Every structure is written in C-alpha cells, then in structure tokens.
Amino acid sequence: MSVFIPCLRVRCFFVKSLKHPVPKEKALLLNAFANAMLQQENVPSALRAVVEIEQMRLSGQLGDWADWRYVETYCAMLRRASENEPLPKQIAAHMRMLDKVDAAADDMALDVVHSTKYKMLKGWLMAGLSKVLRAGGQMTADQKAALKLSGSEKQPVTMRSVCDEALHQHLAAIAVEEVSPELKADAHMSLAIFCSSILQAEKTGTCARSCVTCSKVPCWMFLRWISQILALLDKEVGPFLFDIVDSVARHYPNALIYPFRVSSSAYTFECPKTKKACQNFVGRLQQAMDKVPLVNDFIKALELLQFPEIAFKDWYESVKDALNEKQGPASIKELFKKIVSQLLVCSRDSSRRSSWSRVYQRFSENMKEKVIAAFGTQGEKLAAMTPKKFQEQYNRLMSGYKPSEAPKALKDISPWLSHFSSLDQEHSLEIPGQYTGKGRPMPEYHVKIFGFDESIRVLQSKQRPCRITIRGDDEKEYRFLVKTGEDLRQDDRIEQIFTVMNDLLRKDPVCRSRHLQLVTYSVVPLTHRVGLIQWLDDTMVMEEFLRQGLTTEEQDDIFNPFSSNTRNKVPGSYKLHSVDDYMKAYETQSCSKAATSRYLSCLRPASKLALRKALLSLSSCPEAFFALRSRFVSSHATISIAHWVLGIGDRHLGNFLVGTKTGLEIGIDFGYAFGVATQFLPVPELMPFRLTPMYMALVEPFEKGGTMACSMHYTLQALRSGSRSLLDMMDVFVQEPTIDWLEMAVVAPLLESGIHFLRGSDYARNADEKKGQATAALDWYPRQKVDIVRQKLEGHHPSYILRDELKLGKGNNSYFASMETVCLGASGPHGEFRRQFSGTDKLTPQQQVECLIEQATDPAILGLTWRGWQPWR
C-alpha cells in the first residue's frame, strides 16, 4: 500500500498534465486513490477525490459514464464521512447513497455479477438506514416519498419496512447461483452481519439455525470462543451447540476441561423445553472430563497454595451470607463439614498426610479443637447462631492465631506439586493455556509438565498469591502466579477482549504503522476459585520503576508524602481522612478555586519528572531514550483508551508494569472493571484513566497530550470501527456473569437506596442483611454494563456516560449534585471543551479523546480523588 499510493499520485499528475486528458481513465485513477485512502482511514483525502470525480461528472466530461467500482467507493466514503454527524444528516447521506445506487441500477442489471453486488450494496444501505431510524432519526415527508421499497403496492415507510427491504435485498443476493464462490460467500456474510445486528438490537439472543450450520465448521475454529459457547449450554439454545462441544471434547479435551469446570458450576437449566436434554449432555460431558488424567489432582494441589487462614476467612464469608439469607440448618452444617474436610482433618492419622503440607498441618493442629468447641462437632452450634454471634466467634478464634509464614520451598505448602515428575506418570499433563484458537492445535507438540521447581515466591497482597515455576519437557521454565480464592474469569475475558482489540488495531493501517498494540498475557481460570496468571519476566511494577531515577531525598518526598515535612502538601493528608471528609469536600469545594489550588500546590518538581528520569536510567544514549519514550507513550495511550472502553478503574501505580527491555507499559489486576470504581466505591473515581502530570511531562513541549493524544484518537477510532466484534465478545458477561458481577448486581439496588458497599469494611454492614431483596438485579445488571460500553463505542459524550454511572450508585445522596458538577466540568476553566457538547450529541473519536484528556487532567477531579490513588504522582 505504501508503494501503491505514490504510484497513483504520479499517474494522476501525468493525466492532469496531458493536453488531451482522458476523463474516464482519470476518474478511475481518482476512484482507486479514494478507495486506497479509505483503507488508510483517511476520509478527507478520499472525499476530495470523490468531489473531483463529481465535478467532472457534472461538467459533462464523463458523459454517461457509470462504473460500479465508483458507486461502491462513493457509498463507502459518504457512509464514513457521515457516521459521526447528527441523525438528520445521516439520513440525508443515506438517501444520497441510495439515489446514486438506483441511478446505476439499469446498467448493473445487464450483468449477473454486478446485479448481485447491487443487491448487496442496497441491502447494506437499507440496513444502515434502519440503524439510524432505530437510534431515533426521523425521515421527512419528501425523503419518505423518494424512498423506493420493493413490493407491488406502496408500503408506508417505517423502520420495520426499511428492515424488511434490507432483508429482501440480502436474500435476493444469496439466491443468485451463477456467481463465483467468493462473491456468494460475501453475500452470505453480508446477510449474517445484518441478522446479527438486528438480533443484537432486539436482544433476542442467538440464531439457532446459525448454530446448526456452525457445527459443520472445523471444531478448532471455536476454541477462541469456547467460554462463550459453554456459557450457553444450559440455555434454550444449548441443544444446538451439542455437536460443536462434543467435537471439541473428542479432539481437544485439554482445551475444554478447565473452561467447562468453571462454567458448569453456574448452570441453572431454567428453560423447561431443553432442561432434560441439556442436563443429560452436561452429565455425559462431565464424565468425559473426569477421565482426563492428572487434571483433578493438579487442581487440588494448586488449591493448597491458598494459605489456610485465608481459606478459613473465605469460609467465614460464605457462612455469614448463608446466615443472613436465613438458610436452613442443613445448609449451614454442610458448609461446616466442608471446612472440616478441607482444613481440619487430623493429618497424623489421615490417608491424606502425604498430600498435606506443613502449613495446613500447623493450622489443623492449632485450630481444630477450638473450631469444634465453638461450632459443634457436626456444626450444630453454628446452625443456631445469629450472624452477629458468628462474627464474634470468628473474631475470637482468629485473634490469637499467628498467620502462616511464607514457605521457603514448594514442598512446605504443596507436596504433590513438589514430588510430581512426568517420569513417574503413565500419562502426560499439558501446561494450561496453550489453546489460543488462532490456528489448528497440534496437542502432540504442546509443552507438557516435566516437574516443578522448588523455589516459590509469595506476594505480599491481600490473598498472598504464590509464584511457581513449571519445568516443561522442552527444557524451558514457565512461571505462573497462582491466585486462589478469586474468580479469574473477569481477568481472562478482559484479556480475550484485549486480543480482539489487538486484531482491530492490526487491521487499521494507521494503528499498524504506529505499532499501537496492547501487551497481553495468559489468564487460565481452572475453577471459579483458583487460576493461573502468566508471569511476565523483565518487568517492574511502576512504583518500583519510578524509584530508579530518583535520589533518596526525592524518593522520600514522593513516596512518603505523609512524613512531617510533606504532610501539608498532599491532598487529603490533614483534612480528608475519611469518606465523610471527602463527601463534605464535594459539597463545599467542588469546582472551587480552593479545591483546584490545593491540588496544584501539592505537585512537586521531582514527581513531575520521575517518569522521564526512570526512562533515562534505562537508556544508554539519547537515541535509546527517545525510542523508549515513544514506545511508552504509545503503549500508555493504547492502554488508556482500552481501559476506558471497558471501564477499568483503580489505576494506581501498583497496577501497572513496565517492560525494562522494551519500555512498554502493561496493565494488570482488573478487579474494578466496567465502572465498579465509579458506581460502588465510597469515594468514586471520576477520571477515565491515569494521566497525571508525570505522564503529561513526558510528552513536553507538546501541549494537550501531543503524540499521546494522537495515538489515543487512532486507537479509539479503530475500536469504534470494530465495535460489533467487541460487543459480541462481551455477550459472555450477560450469559455467564462472574461471581463479582453477581455480587455487584445484588448490591446495586442497595446503593440506590443510599447504602454504601465496600466488602470487608463498615460500609457493608447494612448490605448483608438485605441482599435477598435484590436478586431480580441479576438479569439486568450485566446488560446494563454492556450497554454502557456500547454507548462509548457509539460516540456518546464521555462525561455524561460517567454522570449516568455515578447516578446509579450515588444518585440518592445529597452530594450527588456537586459530583455531577465536577464530572461534567460545569464550572471553572478546566471544563471548557466538555461544555461545548450536550449529552445527546454524538462525538467524533477526536472529540471524545479531547473530552477524556480534559477530564483526566482536571485539577478539580484530581484534588478530590481518594488519596490512595495518589493523583499527585
């Protein structure tokens, strides 16, 4: 393409210089140039070429010239140019395109190939018009009179009749037999896309007939979407997926076993028509998966990497929920038996002694008698307790227990992993996460587990996850972070969405030339409570990375802001201690000079230059610094837009990694995704992504983000053009919500009543008693979150989307009006661009990015951000 475009320009120059120009050849060259520009996402250049052709046509230079290639280019260009315009202008553009197509209809009818293309193009235009009408557009009387619909009698022009016309044209296109297989395939794909868009708009689910047709496709092509498929096995469409799943189970059982274990635990079989068939199939599939060798032992061994006191706390949470929901004594006793078998079986006399670790033996010896004394031998005392009494007993039990020390070797916590050797096994065990679906798998060449290294590293976080090293039979080592007690499906799905985003960025010529990509890593949920995360070598946590270029004094100034010499220079350090302090600040200081000046006064020169100095410390020469800076800026821009689209919050410096060899930034830990940080946290996050002064200083002397803003614009433009793929990918959140989503769905109605929620804090004290009243939210909550993503990709105003999310969680609170003023930038000099548009305006990608940057750098927002996020860095 880089060679083709200059060639076209040279040819156009010589054609223009001819004394006796050849108009039709010139028009064809201009048309090829316009088409090339559209492929490069350069709509203005394509528009200029099309305008020149139109001027030649109106002046009579082209005579009765009609070329179908030009008609296609004209429609594609006008559709792209009008997609961000107001609805009336979009309707007018579609009418112009339909007029252009109808004007060439007679010439195209003489050729069966062009006749098929005519039907496909007209169906595509009618589908686009129906989408505009569905969005609220209204046609004028003249436009309705000019619109030509099929049928013997004149039909009234409605959204339904336009959809019917689009379907009629698509069906007519696929009915033509005398065309090439490629054109026929294009016609079928065009119909499939149209039907998918209608089903998505009507929210009627998946087309069963399509599932039957898909069963004829090679099963490995579904591996990338196996989670979405398994999520539907208990639904009405489940029987249509049996052939696909059965084929995958026979050919690639290791690709199915982990996703199936995760999904099967959430099956409900609510459809009466398909309940029995689905239950029978899932039962047979479960039996087949249980026969896969070594997998069950492998998962049980990984579960032992959860420290017993953390497992005991998780059990406490589940029992507390059961007591609050007033479950019967039988359920409570069953939960007690579960924890006894998991943690309190006496290992000295047990057959499980060889599989138990020293850590678990110590917990059992210290806690067994105390737990039985407190809750009864069979849990009978526990079943009679109130939630408050149970909490008191738990606190009393754990008050004298010293947490387990970090194990020095793998055998201290998981003997099965330590002793495992493939030489002692009849069957092999694959390293999880090798079925990507991007190509036909060859399991015989997949890396198998040879053994495990004795070294283990325990991370000092809430769940204390462990890093283990797997030795492969290819003589390489593979490091994974084992996370227990957490549902990793959300992280896995977000990484899958990132891979789809990368596909869209690679398809976009501008993004591809700028090397805009997201760094992804493998996340493998093994069950809904344990999973593996690929360990990224040669990376550092951003907070550690920043220390590299700073002196000891500068580090103390930035990283110890609550010391005596800096205490009054950090927002919230002496006035905003609690959540109530922040809420009062919103009521009295939102968008005021005091709030803004307080934030600006805390910014330190060392903090502003910390990122630049850290990159300099990696660089061996100025050229290396500029290369690293360029990579970092591009990666941060791409991450920021991707995280904003998915509503990923809690972007403090501990949730970013930096590649020490590449300079690329990597986002980790997506627990607060899809607007949770805005809707549910007591102090809501109002910034779309992290763009603090040290990031802005990195692109100086350019203002307003410089190259970072350009990369954000191109990234968002590419994602918006591929929105259908992203939204289809997110449908799995609707069909199979994760544990976190179910919990948030239950709590959401409580927030609307003014009840705060933050698990493990005082703000959850009222929520536990009323969760049973909100089960109806389980259906609409996931759809609501997916719809918010759709609004972002359709060009809605970012600040108004944020306002609506904020309203869902804080709408009934007295300080909501002040928060609304802050997020909309309704006052002060830092919201001028946001105030130019209303909530009903559709913005271009560039306008959205400018709004986002203004919002992310607004001192009024950053000055009232929770101090743990550290907005001054």
Containing 36, the helix (H) or strand (E) segment is: helix 23-39
- Give the whole-angstrom CA distance, residue 98 versus residue 144: 12
Residue 541, pLDDT score: 93
Match 């307080």 to its residue by tokens: 598
Rounded distance between C-alpha atoms, residue 536 and residue 538, angstroms: 7
Non-local (6+) Cβ contacts of 166 within 8 A are: 123, 124, 126, 127, 129, 130, 194
Q: Among 445-459, 565-579, 647-661, 737-751, whose mean pLDDT is lowest?
A: 565-579
Q: What are 541-586's pLDDT values in tens digits? A: 998 998 887 777 777 666 665 454 544 444 444 356 677 777 777 7
Q: How many CA atoms lie within 13 A of 128 on its CB side?
A: 24
CA distance 299 to 403: 24
- For residue 771, the model assigns a pLDDT of 44
Task: Count CB neighbours of 760 within 10 A.
Answer: 9
pLDDT digits (tens, 9 = 90+) for 242-287: 999 999 999 999 999 999 999 888 888 988 889 999 999 999 999 9
Q: Determine which of 227-236, 687-696, 732-741, 862-871 has the lowest per-residue pLDDT on average.
A: 732-741
Angle between the 622-645 and 610-618 helix axes, to the nearest 10 degrees?
Answer: 130
In the three-class reduction of DSSP (H, G, I as helix; E, B as strand; rest coil), residue 15 is classed as: helix
Q: Is 225 exposed, middle or buried (0-12, 13-18, 19+ CB in 10 A)?
A: middle
Is 1.25.40 the CATH number for 4-202? yes
| Euclidean distance between CA atoms 729 and 710, whole angstroms | 27
Contact, 441 vs 223, CB < 8 A? Answer: yes
What percent of the chain has a predicted confidence (pLDDT) above 90? 32
| DSSP secondary structure, 479-531, as one string | EEEEEESS-THHHHHHHHHHHHHHHHHHHSHHHHHTT-------EEESSSSEE
618 contacts 663 by C-beta, under 8 angstroms: yes
Q: Is the pLDDT at 704 greater than 90, yes or no?
A: no
CB 103 within 8 A of CB 64: no
pLDDT at site 253: 94
Amino acid at 852: L
- As beta bridge partners, residue 477 has 471
User: CA separation (Å) from 647 to 222, 283, 792, 836?
Assistant: 27, 37, 10, 24
CATH number for 410-540 (one of 3.30.1010.10, 2.170.190.11, 3.40.50.10490, 3.40.50.1360): it is 3.30.1010.10
C-beta separation of 67 from 31 below 8 A: yes
Encode pLDDT of 188-228 as tens digits: 888 888 887 777 666 544 445 555 556 667 889 899 889 88
Over the stretch 640-666, which tens digit does the pLDDT of each residue have? 999 999 999 999 999 999 999 999 999
pLDDT at site 575: 58
Question: What pLDDT is stored for residue 482 in this prediction?
Answer: 95
User: Is-contact 132 87, C-beta < 8 A?
Assistant: yes
Residues in the chain: 873
CA–chain centroid gap for 399, Å, is 40
Cα separations (Å) of 801 from 208, 668, 686? 34, 24, 11
Q: What is the arithmetic mean of pLDDT over 494-507?
A: 94
Enter the tokens of residue 846: 């560039």
Please name every residue paired with 457 in a beta bridge, in sequence order, or none if there are none. 467
Buried residues in 847-865 as b, exposed as e (16+ CB within 10 A): bbbbbbbbbbbbbbbbbbb
Looking at the DSSP bridge assignments, the partners of residue 351 are none
pLDDT at position 329 over 70? yes
d(CA 680, CA 660): 35
Helix (H, G, I), strand (E, B) or coil at 207: coil
Neighbour-count burial for 477-490, b at 16+ CB within 10 Å, e otherwise? ebbbbbbbbbbbbb
pLDDT band at 504 (very low <50, low <70, confident <90, very high): very high
Tokens of 257: 């076993």
pTM of the prediction? 0.82
Q: How far is CA 315 from CA 106, 337, 680, in A?
A: 74, 11, 24
Residue 634 has pLDDT above 50, yes or no: yes
CA–CA separation, 189 vs 287, rounded Å? 37
Task: Measure the CA dihedral 483/485/486/487, to 10°.
Answer: 110
Q: Where residue 470 falls among pLDDT bands split at 50, 70, 90?
A: very high
CA distance 737 to 266: 9
The residues, ordered by sequence, that sit 6+ positions from 497 with a Cβ below 8 Å of its Cβ are 646, 726, 729, 730
User: Measured between alpha carbons, how far is 756 from 1 in angstroms, rounded to an integer?
Assistant: 56
Sorted by sequence, the CB contacts under 8 Å of residue 430 that are 6+ apart come out as 254, 443, 446, 447, 448, 449
pLDDT category of residue 747 using cuts at 50, 70 and 90:
low
With tokens 């609501």, the residue in question is 784
Residues whose CB falls within 8 Å of the CB of residue 505, separated by 6 or more in sequence, listed in order? 511, 512, 516, 517, 518, 638, 715, 718
- Read off the pLDDT band of 595 (50, 70, 90): low
What does the pLDDT read at residue 762? Answer: 38
CATH 3.30.1010.10 location in the chain: 410-540
pLDDT of residue 739: 59
Segment among 507-521, 698-712, 772-786 with least mean pLDDT? 772-786
More confident residue, 753 or 809: 809
Output the average pLDDT for the chain.
Answer: 82
Given a contact cutoff of 8 angstroms between Cβ atoms, the answer to whether 644 and 527 are in contact is no
Q: SS3 of 787, please?
A: helix
Q: How far apart are CA 573 and CA 863, in angstroms?
A: 12
Evaluate whether 285 touches 234 at the Cβ level (below 8 Å). Answer: no
Q: How far apart are CA 509 and CA 514, in angstroms?
A: 9
Buried b (16+ CB within 10 A) or exposed e, 824-839: bbeebebbebbeebee
Q: In the chain, list all ranges with CATH 1.25.40.
A: 4-202
Closest C-alpha to 318, from 307, 303, 332, 300:
332
Helix (H, G, I), strand (E, B) or coil at 311: helix
Q: Diameter of the chain by CA atoms?
A: 105
- 248-266 burial: b if 16+ Cβ within 10 Å, else e: bbeebbbbbbbbbbbbbeb
Helical residues (DSSP H) of 400-439, grouped into ranges: 415-419
Q: Please determine, for residue 607, whether its predicted confidence score (pLDDT) is greater than 80.
A: no
Closest CA to 690 of 648, 646, 634: 648
Task: List pLDDT tens digits, range 154-196.
Answer: 556 777 788 888 888 888 888 887 778 888 888 888 888 888 7
Q: Are 161 and 149 in contact (CB under 8 A)?
A: yes
641: left (phi over 0), alpha (psi -120 to 50) or beta: alpha
Contact 494, 453 (CB under 8 A): no
Express each pLDDT in 345-395 by its tens digit: 754 444 444 557 888 888 888 888 899 999 998 889 998 899 899 999 999
Which of 6-10, 218-222, 842-846 is least confident? 6-10
